[in-house]
Structure 1
Amino acid sequence: MTATKTTSNTTLDAAPSTPAQASLYQQLRGHLATLKLHAAAEALPGVLESATAEGLTLTAALERLCSIEVSATEARRLAGRLRFASLPTPATLEDFDYDAAPTVDPKLIAELATCRYIESATNVLLIGQPGLGKTHLAVGLARKAAEAGYRTYFTTAADLAARCHRAAIEGRWATTMRFFNGPALLVIDELGYLPLPAEAASALFQVVSQRYLKTSIILTSNRGVGSWGEVLGDTTVAAALLDRLLHRSVVLTLEGDSYRLRDHQARADTLRKTTTGTHQPLR
């Protein structure tokens, strides 16, 4: 009698039906749990059932089980990157209103969404008056970077300056500089919105200088680059800062009406129409 060989193309048996099969099944789940393959251990019964019902080969069933674990691992890692990123809003590039921002080129944003600029350590500067969507775009691009596997961190210029100031006082300057130098993408929001203390220009310069030509920065500002000397209170530092930021950069200038002002006007118009429609003239 010729022995039957088991190959990777053999279909799986039905769910465990004997004590020996049940014991083997439990050992398999135990191995998966020991290896911290918790998603695979949880999915094992369903995969075995579907494999039997669909007549899957052993190879196909293992691939399905592994893909479940891989998907769960990627989801956990993404959740961790997004927690670290500290994004202030759930904004995405997909819900950006390009009709309300005619100076923003959708093709350019789509190119930035590929994150290729991070590979070349290119910076992105978003400049324009408040309410035009600079922070929305910055958050959306940061989210794309996190989804692509890049370590990303979001902060405001004021918070960065305050953190560096505390670090200098507490003797943690080098540690703080390493922290801001670590992420592949650092987003610095709202430069120019609030007055910065005298040491802020030096702190910002140090962060930009350490990341120069190595990692990317997205920076938003309501002030044109010609006003940064006034913003930072030091024209020399501002010139050196801009020299590094602009050396390899994409600059987007946003123009138009504020989102918030448009929303306010739309609500006011709706209220006015409603009031006009329901108002009864005095007799």
Structure 2
Amino acid sequence: MLTHPTLALLTDLGLHGMAIAFQDLQSQPEALALEHGDWLALLLERETTLRRQKRFESRARAAHLRHDAHVEDVDFRATRGLGRGLFLKLAGCGWIRERRGLLLTGPAGVGKSWLACALGQKACREDFSLVYHRAPRLFAALALARGDGRYARMLKALARVDLLILDDWGPEKLDDDQRRDLLEIVEDRYERRSIIVTSQIPVDRWYEIIGNLTIADAILDRLVHNAYRIELSGESLRKQRSPAAASLSD
């Protein structure tokens, strides 16, 4: 078998997973008894796996998630009102395919940001694009973009991802520019893309944060209408857990 020319050709074609699998199979005597179709299936499987892993790594880097969190590590024993059934349903990412939202509320330290990042990491694994932003920093970045001509381009980039995580919204009341920014973001995503919003403020008080009732109606009608809700409660997990496990906090 022309091992070296085949490897060179696979590499030239960018089929690196197949090239690695080819070398592995060549080193296994039992593989020589496989049919050509079986060889091809194994090579294609390795190529698919490698490409899927590279896509995940690329999406994870672009997401800039605050926590290295995983849905498999969620502790349902903690007393904070997190329902196993609903969370596992969300971990399946069907709600992203349905272009729905998720509102995560609760006091500081109960794990809102960590849970949002865990769902974001799972979305990356399911080949969805996403980006994480803390709300105060996003509004500050949009204010700068408005001044230097990047505003429309930045909004377009936010609208393009399958999932936007808007973390730590409130309790400061929005100013006029921030209200318009949020309306643009929510309008771009309504029934087109998904969003996760985390906040210490209960949803029924979000009108107070937005400030302008007319704009608040427009924002919340789009944001709350088809969104799942998780309302967490209890003491801060920072107080309950050792420093090594304190990553389950906001």
Length-normalised TM-score, structure 1: 0.80
Deviation at 1:226, TM superposition (A): 2.8
Q: Could you tell me which residue of structure 2 aligns to residue 37 of structure 1?
A: 15
Which structure has the bigger radius of gyration? 1
Letter of the structure 2 residue corresponding to residue 94 of structure 1: E
- Which whole-Å deviations, capped at 9, do the CAs of 1:226-264 have from their partners, x for residues lacking one? 322332333332222111111111111111111012237
Correspondent of 2:188 among 210, 223, 238: 210
Structure 2 partner of 1:115: 93
Q: Is the 8 A contact 1:96 1:136 kept in 2?
A: no
CA distance in 2: counterparts of 1:153 and 1:86, whole angstroms:
6
Which portions of structure 1, spanning 4 or more consecutive aligned residues, are displaced by more than 6 angstroms? none
Structure 1 residue aligned with 2:126: 148
* Cα distance in 2 for residues equivalent to 1:157 and 1:130: 15
Distance 2:67 2:54 in 1: 20
RMSD: 1.9
CA deviations on 1:14-40 (whole Å, 9 max, x unpaired) are xxxxxxx5xx32221121011011232
**Partner in structure 1 of residue 247 of structure 2:** none
How far does residue 71 in structure 1 lie from its aligned partner after superposition?
A: 1.1
Q: Tell me the distance in 2 between the aligned counterparts of 1:46 and 1:161.
A: 51
Identity of aligned residues (%): 31
Counterpart secondary structure, 2:165: strand
**Number of the residue aligned with 2:156:** 178
Task: Report the Cα distance in structure 2 between the residues aligned to 1:261 and 1:193, rounded to whole angstroms.
Answer: 22
In the TM superposition, residue 198 of structure 1 has moved relative to its aligned partner by 4.0
Is 2:133 aligned against 1:133?
A: no
Question: Quick check: 179-188 or 67-76, which moved more?
Answer: 67-76
Q: Number of residues paired by the alignment?
A: 243
Cα drift, residue 193 of structure 1: 4.6
Residue 192 of structure 1, aligned match among 155, 167, 170: 170
SS in 2 for 1:199: helix
The DSSP-based 3-state class of the residue aligned with 2:195 is strand
How far apart, in 2, do the equivalents of 1:51 and 1:243 lie? 64
Pairing 1:1-283 to 2, within 5 Å after superposition: 21=1, 24-50=2-28, 52-53=30-31, 55-193=33-171, 196-263=174-241
Q: Do 2:25 and 2:31's aligned partners in 1 also have CA atoms closer than 8 Å?
A: no
Give yes or no for contact 2:99–2:192 (8 Å, CA) kept in 1. Answer: yes
